[in-house]
Amino acid sequence: MRIERIELREVRLPLVHPFETSFGRETVQRVVIVKVWGEGLIGYGESAAGIGPWYSYETVETCWHVQRDFLVPLLLGRKIEAPTVVTGLFAPVRGHPIAKTGLEEAVWDLLAKEAGEPLAHFLGGTVDRIESGVSVGIQPTVDRLLDRIGTFIDQGYRRIKIKIKPGWDLDVVENVRQRFPDVRLMLDANSAYSLADAPLFRRLDEYALMMVEQPLGYYDLLDHARLQEQIGTPLCLDESIITPEHAGWAIELGSCRIINIKPGRVGGLYSARRIHDLCQEHEFPVWCGGLLETGIGRAHNVALSTLPNFRLPGDVSASARYYEHDIVDPLFELNPDGTISVPSGPGIGVAVDEERLEACTVRSRMFEN
Ligand code: OSB
Ligand code: MG
């Protein structure tokens, strides 16, 4: 399949609720939606960089620059036999995984559509529903947090992740556990602590947490291994795992016992699948994280989550948890049993509402060959 045309679109979508983490507060999501054309078909992908270089060094501006000036020229006009070759094609560009992901995902969608297969199946997944969890941002008060968690539990979410930061940790967890003694609960610190905080994490061992995600430095593997040795709760790495090699190093060093896989963080679905396979060989469970994607990136995350070693509920929640007017049809909805159904149509399996997409586009650019 020859890649005949590529379009980049910067999209802005207001979030239903502001999302606050240890690195800041977002009220609007900005992403680059990528469309690729070949043989009368269109593939869609998403680069969910967000507004500032907080979670990662990438922003919508860096994605646009790296895509327009370096990645699009590497892909446009090429004959692509299999989506797995895109990662190699992009290898000369160092880093910038979120920028790469939008284009790589769009090629996966396009080739799955060419094969007439749902993306989930095309990737090697088997299940028709995935377990859904929800990530709850830092709230103005503990009461607000308890309310929000209660609402999500009532909706059926299968596990709750709460964001923590210094000053919003032990007491908050104590309160959540008192109110919800049995909920499957985990924490995400987004690198807000250092090894000197080990005593805090030892105290958190008392709360039957499924895991603590990324407590220490965003590039660190060694201090996480030192911390994991001192605590009972499994550590889960997010920011520190950027390539399959990092996953291998983390496993060898004992830096964590669980890995959060996000296509955006690792440069796309092929890299995500390689990390999945490596973790499976080492009996490390994985789950699918998120970057507040619109329905397009969400569809890719849903498809990825159907691989067999995605054994824990992910941060792949319903469209309505993020956006009032998402850009896909149908929307992703939570089933009463806390699962999300995997679309059964070809490719991402959901239609993109082009009118809606146009309405929230702030700039676009077409590249033709
Ligand atoms: O650390 O997992 C994270 C959102 C944006 C950036 C980083 C993270 C998150 C989330 C929410 O926790 C994931 C989601 O629901 O999409
Ligand atoms: Mg995280």
What digits encode the pLDDT tens for the residues 71-93?
999 999 999 999 999 999 999 99
161 in active site: no
Q: Is 58 in the pocket of ligand 1 (CB under 6 A)?
A: no
C-alpha distance from residue 3 to each of 74, 122, 148, 176 (Å):
11, 19, 45, 50
pLDDT band of residue 61 (cuts 50, 70, 90) is: very high
Mean pLDDT value of segment 150-167: 98
Task: Give the pLDDT score at 48.
Answer: 98
Query: Which of 216, 315, 321, 332 has most ligand 1 atoms within 8 Å of its beta carbon, as the pocket-test mutant?
Result: 315
- Return the bridge partners of 367, or none: 6
As given in the structure block, the two tokens for residue 257 are: 């016992």
In this structure, which residue's CA is closest to atom 5 in ligand 1? 291
In this structure, which residue's CA is closest to atom 8 in ligand 1? 291
Q: Which of helix, strand or coil describes residue 323?
A: strand
pLDDT band of residue 99 (cuts 50, 70, 90) is: very high
| Strand runs labelled E in the chain | 5-21, 24-38, 41-47, 129-131, 134-136, 160-163, 185-188, 212-213, 235-237, 258-261, 286-288, 328-329, 339-341, 351-352, 361-368
Half-sphere exposure (Cβ direction) of 62: Cα atoms closer than 13 Å: 18
Using alpha carbons, select from 245, 242, 246, 266 the residue that is nearest to residue 101: 266
Q: Is 290 in the pocket of ligand 1 (CB under 6 A)?
A: yes
Query: In this model, does residue 33 exceed pLDDT 90?
Result: yes
Atom of ligand 1 nearest to the CA of 214: 1
163 in active site: yes
Q: Is 55 in the pocket of ligand 1 (CB under 6 A)?
A: yes
Atom of ligand 1 nearest to the CA of 317: 15
Nearest ligand (C-alpha, residue 152): 1
Contact 201, 182 (CB under 8 A): no
Q: Which of helix, strand or coil describes residue 105?
A: helix
Q: What's the CA-to-centroid distance between 238 and ligand 2, angstroms?
A: 5
Mean pLDDT value of segment 37-51: 96
Find how far residue 367's CA is from the centre of its chain. Answer: 27
pLDDT tens column, 290-340: 999 999 999 999 999 999 999 999 999 999 999 999 999 999 999 999 999
Q: What's the CA-to-centroid distance between 81 and ligand 1, angstroms?
A: 33
| Strand runs labelled E in 93-231 | 129-131, 134-136, 160-163, 185-188, 212-213
Q: Is 318 in the pocket of ligand 1 (CB under 6 A)?
A: no
Residue with tokens 């159907």: 306
Segment (H or E) for 173: helix 170-179
Average per-residue pLDDT in the chain? 98
Query: How many distinct helices (H) and strands (E) make up the chain?
Result: 14, 15
Nearest ligand (C-alpha, residue 298): 1
Identity at 358, one-letter amino acid code:
E
Mean pLDDT value of segment 279-291: 98
CA dist 168 and 93 (Å) reads 38
Mean pLDDT value of segment 264-290: 98
Nearest ligand (C-alpha, residue 288): 1
Task: Count CB-CB contacts under 10 A for residue 356.
Answer: 18
Q: What's the CA-to-centroid distance between 23 and ligand 1, angstroms?
A: 11
CA dist 257 and 225 (Å) reads 10
CA dist 29 and 98 (Å) reads 14
Q: What's the CA-to-centroid distance between 205 and ligand 2, angstroms?
A: 19
In this structure, which residue's CA is closest to atom 14 in ligand 1? 290
Task: Give the pLDDT score at 11.
Answer: 98
Mean pLDDT value of segment 201-216: 98
Task: Give the pLDDT score at 50.
Answer: 84
Query: In this model, does residue 369 exceed pLDDT 90?
Result: no
Q: Is 315 in the pocket of ligand 1 (CB under 6 A)?
A: yes
Q: Is 319 in the pocket of ligand 1 (CB under 6 A)?
A: no
Q: Which of helix, strand or coil describes residue 169?
A: coil
Nearest ligand (C-alpha, residue 163): 1
Atom of ligand 1 nearest to the CA of 19: 4
Query: In this model, does residue 342 exceed pLDDT 90?
Result: yes
Mean pLDDT value of segment 329-354: 98
Q: Which of helix, strand or coil describes residue 17?
A: strand
In this structure, which residue's CA is closest to atom 4 in ligand 1? 291
- Strand ranges of the sheet holding 41-47, from the earlier edge strand across to the other edge: 41-47, 24-38, 5-21, 361-368
Find how far residue 99's CA is from the centre of its chain. Answer: 14
pTM greater than the 0.75 cutoff? yes
CA dist 343 and 147 (Å) reads 31
Atom of ligand 1 nearest to the CA of 26: 5
